[in-house]
Structure 1
Amino acid sequence: MGLLFLQPALRFVGSTPDMPRRVRPVSASSSSSTVDWVKTTDAEFFQGDSRPIMLFDGVCNLCNGGVRFVRSNDPNRRIRYAPLQSDSGRKLLKRSGRSPDDISSVVLVEKNRSYIKSEAVLRIMEHLDLPFPQLALMLKIVPLFARDFAYDNVANNRYAIFGRSEIESCEIL
């Protein structure tokens, strides 16, 4: 039985009940436009390289520092990066079922799924060198609503606390 009582109640997106509410399956039906964003982005981003892509706010000093931190703890380059504001970022946001103008959260886009907020952060940690995968596992014990509450408080105040860059970060896929 153990820690099962600490697991939050899950709400589901899509038709597969084994996926937490903030994990969006990537499917052609996730976009309301006539463009098949999955097919378009698969060919452009995942055909020759299946590594996940971390989308981040390219003008946020906290976010750019987060990318530098992840890069320094990912010597095998398991993650690629793109600013949310870039053309690539906007396409990948559409693929993830989000507005192309939504810069409110870090997003991790994998070939078959997208993660946002604290789930994206924990998933990114799983791709890094030790001790971060173990830390991510421990943090999953914290209920999603509590993790996202903390995430939202930092994200909503990131410019006031950490400032903005005058220039947008370059695209570094």
Structure 2
Amino acid sequence: MSQLPSRLVFYDGVCAMCNGIVKWMLRIDTAGMFRFASLQSETADQARKAHPGIPSELETMVYLRDGEVFLRSRGAFEAMREVSYPWKALSWLRVFPVWLTDFFYGILAKYRYRVFGKYDQCPLPPPEDRARFLP
């Protein structure tokens, strides 16, 4: 893949909570604008070369929009700006300081495996959604 899509969400592919959030995003993204790739993927490696600000830590949700990188809570809030109401209202949380929202994001990221579980490998998306996932 030579060029990355304009709306790309990177997530921890073995995290049960993260996979659940991706499934939810697939449901609420009625326009089909988001593409998804795990942080363990070739696409993530390619994106890191083009955008050195993308960390390799699996605790970080990354939203890449038109070449701009948004991390952690900011990534989640920016992605929610793209969907329709009522879910778009979650983007309003970006009015809080990044240090505060990332503090809570960090707590959730730290305990996500313990609370929600972990897969041995990245699960395959359902056939109807596979075109929205990058290798």
**TM interval, short-chain normalised:** 0.7 to 0.9
Match of 2:46, SS state, is helix
Q: Is the 8 A contact 1:90 1:100 kept in 2?
A: no
> Which moves more between the two structures, 76-85 or 163-172?
163-172
For 2:94 and 2:102, locate their aligned partners in 1 and report how far apart those are by CA, in whole Å: 12
1-structure distance, mates of 2:110, 2:95:
24
Cα distance, 1:99–1:122 mapped onto 2, change above 3 Å: closer
Following the alignment from structure 2 to structure 1, what is the Cα–Cα distance between the partners of residues 115 and 11?
A: 17
Q: Is the 8 A contact 2:7 2:66 kept in 1?
A: yes
Amino acid at match of 1:58: G
TM-score scaled to structure 1, two decimals? 0.67
Q: What TM-score do you get using the length of structure 2 for normalisation? A: 0.84
State yes or no: 1:155 paired with 2:119: no
Preserved contact between residue 47 and residue 54 of structure 2 (Cα < 8 Å): no
Tell me the amino acid that sits aligned with residue 165 of structure 1: Y
Which protein has the bigger helix share? 2
Give the equivalent residue in structure 2 for 1:145.
99
Report the Cα offset of residue 102 of structure 1: 2.3
Q: Which runs of 5+ in 2 are unaligned?
A: 125-129
Residues paired across the two proteins, number: 127
**3-state DSSP class of the match of 2:4?**
helix
Matches of 2:91 and 2:50 in 1, distance apart?
25
How far 1:89 sits from its partner (Å)? 1.5
Give every structure 1 segment of 4 or more consecutive aligned residues whose post-TM-superposition deviation is greater than 3 Å: 98-101
Q: 1:83–1:169: 8 Å Cα contact kept in structure 2?
A: no
Q: Does 1:45 find its partner at 2:4? A: yes
**Is the 1:79–1:127 contact (alpha carbons within 8 Å) kept by the matching residues of 2?**
no
Point out which structure has higher relative CO (alpha carbons under 8 A, 6+ apart). Answer: 2
Q: Does 1:80 align with 2:39?
A: no
| Consecutive unaligned residues in structure 1, runs of 5 or more | 1-40
Match in the other structure for 2:15 = 60
How large is the RMSD of aligned CA atoms in angstroms?
1.9
Measure how far apart 1:98 and its partner are.
4.0
Pick the structure with greater CA Rg: 1
Paired residue secondary structure (2:36): strand
